[in-house]
Amino acid sequence: RELSKNFNYKFNDNFTFNTELLDLVRDKHLDIDFQLYIFTTGATQETIECQRFLNGYFKKIFSAEKLNLSKKEPSAYLLLADEINLNPNEILFVDDMRQNTVAAETAGFCTITFRNNMQFETEIEGYIANSLE
111 touches 90 (CB < 8 A): no
Residues in Cβ contact with 21 at an 8 Å cutoff, skipping those fewer than 6 apart? 117, 120
> Could you read off the pLDDT tens digit of each residue along the chain, which spans 133 residues?
566 666 676 767 767 889 999 999 999 899 888 999 999 998 778 777 788 888 888 999 999 999 999 999 999 999 999 999 999 999 999 999 999 999 999 999 999 999 999 999 999 999 998 887 6
Which is nearest to 29 in space by CA: 50, 9, 57, 6?
A: 57
What's the half-sphere exposure (Cβ side, CA atoms, 13 Å) at 76? 22
Q: Which element (helix H / strand E) includes 38?
A: strand 37-40
Q: Which one-letter amino acid corresponds to residue 104?
A: A
> Whole-model pTM?
0.87
Closest CA to 83 of 65, 62, 100, 69: 62
For residue 110, which phi and psi values (nearest 5 degrees)?
Answer: -80, 150
DSSP state of 9: -
